[in-house]
Copies of this chain bind each other. A is one copy, B any other.
Amino acid sequence: MASLQKIANELDVSVSLVSKVLNNRLGTTKTRPDVANRIRETAHRLGYRRNASAVALKAGRQNAIAVVIKKHGRHGAGINEAVINGITDAMKGSGQRQSLSFYNQPEEFHELLPQLHSNSIDGLIIAGMRWLPILDDLMAVKQSGVPVVSVFNEPVSDSIPNVGIGDAKLIRLAMQHLIDQGRRCILHASSNKYREAGYFEAMERNGLPVEPEMVYYERGKRSYMPVTARILIERAQQVGIKFDAICCQSDTQAMGAISTLKELGLRVPEDVAVTGVDNSQWAMISDPGITSVSQQFQERGALAVKLLNQIIEGESVADTSLNPELFVRESSGG
């Protein structure tokens, strides 16, 4: 309830002086130390807190960014929580606030548009997996003058800086690890052409042959689930492929691989090495623990905040890409 006015009245000085002292903005005015101290003291005594709205109004800035994230079913992977953690950590203590929304269907994103304008927020961070369905809305937000930064694995549009990681890099990293461990016949299941490309690239570069049944491609949410690993393994066995590793595209898929292998009497990692993606709790709690590639969602969330603020400050920024990190556990025998 204490305003600059109250402090000014209390000490019989002007509001502007109080403002300048409390903000250390003493441009032309070199305030006397005793006056400054009395002002600071009184401010403290009255429990003065800068009124966020008044500052925002005067500055023409909201000191708030919107964060919109695609909901997804893969709860356990902790992806959204990681992004959110990164974002909130990066904003901690900045005084800047964020406003979080989730959407599932494109229409739900559309409904958020009224809130995503420059009179409510200074910028937008959009994160999630599939951006194509909301591209038009996203561009509309951008067009309306709101800076946008995305956290997708692959960039969205030339005009929206993305904090990516490169799906191909993810898989290449896991593949190279498996190959370094001496594995030669590696299976792969994926829902994503970039990831698949990473697989083929790694195999080719190391001169390893790939049979059609070594790869299973399935679009959609199901592709992350355990069942896809089972299909992949059974298909490979049917044609008699003697594989010694499976490069999965998620930790849950890797769990499916491990339990299928156990049922078949194959040991992990002695007979077959397994890797996952996400470095989630699944990977940690699984028995054996799953060697997994982190998509660095927390770091990417934090970086998105940094980039967005740079744009807000008027700098221009480009797409960035972080490097995935490999967390080695027992499943790969590392």
User: Of B49, B57, B145, which is within 8 A of A54 by CB?
Assistant: B57
Let me know if A56 is at the binding interface, CB within 8 A.
Answer: yes
Alpha-carbon distance A149/B111, docked complex (angstroms): 28
Name the B residues within 8 Å of A144 (CB-CB): 47
Given contact pairs A54-B57, A88-B102, A95 touches B115 in the complex (Cβ within 8 A):
yes
Alpha-carbon distance A144/B49, docked complex (angstroms): 11
B285 touches A49 (CB 8 A): no
A255 touches B97 (CB 8 A): no
Name the B residues within 8 Å of A225 (CB-CB): 285
B64 touches A75 (CB 8 A): no
Size category of the A interface is: 35 or more
Let me know if A166 is at the binding interface, CB within 8 A.
Answer: no
Question: Which residues in window 216-257 of A have CB below 8 A to B?
Answer: 225-226, 252, 255
Closest residue to A95 on the B side, CB-wise? B115
| Best-buried of A57, A111, A225 by chain B (most CB within 10 Å) | A57
Given contact pairs A84-B84, A92-B101, A100-B84, A119 touches B50 in the complex (Cβ within 8 A):
yes
B99 touches A51 (CB 8 A): no
Closest CB in chain B relative to A169 CB, distance in Å: 24
Let me know if A162 is at the binding interface, CB within 8 A.
Answer: no
Let me know if A150 is at the binding interface, CB within 8 A.
Answer: no
| Residue-wise interface mask of A (85-118) relative to B, using a CB-CB cutoff of 8 A (1 in contact, 0 not) | 1001100110101111110000000010011011
Let me know if A132 is at the binding interface, CB within 8 A.
Answer: no
A100 touches B98 (CB 8 A): yes
Closest CB in chain B relative to A246 CB, distance in Å: 18
Given contact pairs A57-B57, A76-B76, A285-B76, A1 touches B118 in the complex (Cβ within 8 A):
yes
Let me know if A78 is at the binding interface, CB within 8 A.
Answer: yes
Q: Can you list 6 A-B pairs, Cβ within 8 angstroms, ordered by A?
A: A52-B119, A56-B56, A75-B78, A76-B78, A81-B81, A88-B100
The 5 nearest A-B residue pairs measured at CB: A53-B56, A76-B281, A97-B99, A53-B57, A49-B119
